[in-house]
Amino acid sequence: MGLFVLRDCLRLYRDILLKRNRLDLKAFAGALRETGLSILFGITLVSAVVGLIVGKETEDILDKVNIPGLLIGTIGRTIINEFAPLLVGLFVAGRSGVALAVRIGSMVLNHEIDGLVVCGINPIQYTVGPMLLAMLVMSFCLAVWTDLVVVGVTAAWLWFYAGITWSLFLDSLKQVLELRDVVASVVKPMVFSIFIALIAAVNGSLVARRVEEVSRAATRTMISAIAAILLINLLFVLRT
């Protein structure tokens, strides 16, 4: 079923590009707000807190082992390669994935999905289509933002408390990071988003008659999405 949803989404995007269909701008704007702006404060706060913790821990280790280049490189690479994409994935799953499952479930209960089908419209156009597109755009932006905040706060802490200059920090990162690491760090959350959207769409569509099923769909989406994120991340790690 997830594959059918993905196929219909791709067809929708193709038709939009070929001007055979229109992107529902209202739904897309709402989805952008839901997937990005509504979690921006939370993800910034968490990223900053993590940056502070990593900075403090690194400072403590630097007191004992004075090899700043290796330490900063290792920590920076872990943040950019693993931590930031996972954080974005978890936030997107928790906010957008659950919201999408609840929305589709409610639309099934309120016969809104039937209403769209009756009008000859594929429901994907008003549900998963705009949401997935927004999730892809926002995952990219949030990944870049999270990288910047965590790395920036860590670097600021180390500069202030451990006397690590910005140029040393950046040079150490440059030595361990390759272009593909940076690309992977923004691509990974986008891949997570595709799976999150499909999991949410399938769970939301399974709602049949009762309101309780909507909350069940939300919980199932959250758990399945986290599992999927970790598995996909593992595949990325094993591949590199």
Partner 1 sequence: MTSVVEFENVFQHANGRCLLNGVSFSIGHGESFGLLGPNGAGKTVLLRLIMGLDRPSAGRIVVLGQDYDRLSATGFSRLRQSLGLVLQGGGLLNGLSVAENLILPLRTRGESMDLMGRRVRLIMTQLRLDGLENLYPHELSGGVRRKVELARALIQHPKLLMWDELLDGLDPASVIEIQEHLAREKRTRELTILFTTHQPVGVFSLASRVAVLDGGRLLFTGSIEDLSRAGDYDPDLKYALMGWL
Q: Determine if 111 is a binding residue for partner 1 (CB under 8 A).
A: yes
As measured in angstroms, the least distance from the Cβ of 165 to partner 1 is 52
Q: Using the rule CB under 8 A, give the single segment among 37-45, 90-98, 110-118, 148-156 that binds partner 1.
A: 110-118
Q: Determine if 112 is a binding residue for partner 1 (CB under 8 A).
A: yes
Q: From the centroid of its chain, how far is CA 186?
A: 9
In Å, how far are 10, 52, 139, 174 from 57, measured between CA atoms?
A: 45, 9, 28, 21
Smaller CB distance to partner 1: residue 76 or 105? 105
| Helical spans, DSSP H, in the chain | 2-17, 25-32, 38-64, 68-78, 84-92, 98-109, 112-118, 128-161, 166-176, 179-205, 212-239
Q: Determine if 210 is a binding residue for partner 1 (CB under 8 A).
A: no
DSSP state of 1: -
- The site map against partner 1 for 90-109 (x = CB under 8 A) is -----------------x--
Residue from 42, 70, 115, 165 touching partner 1 (CB under 8 A): that is 115
Residue from 52, 61, 116, 141 touching partner 1 (CB under 8 A): that is 116
- The site map against partner 1 for 5-24 (x = CB under 8 A) is -----------------x--
Q: What is the dihedral of CA 54, 56, 60, 61, to 10 degrees?
A: 20
Q: Determine if 207 is a binding residue for partner 1 (CB under 8 A).
A: no
Site for partner 1 in 169-198 (CB under 8 A): none
The single residue listed with the structure tokens 């954080």 is 87
First to last CA, the chain: 30
Do the Cβ atoms of 192 and 229 come closer than 8 Å? yes
**Residues in the site for partner 1, rule: CB under 8 A?**
22, 26-27, 30, 107, 110-112, 114-122, 126
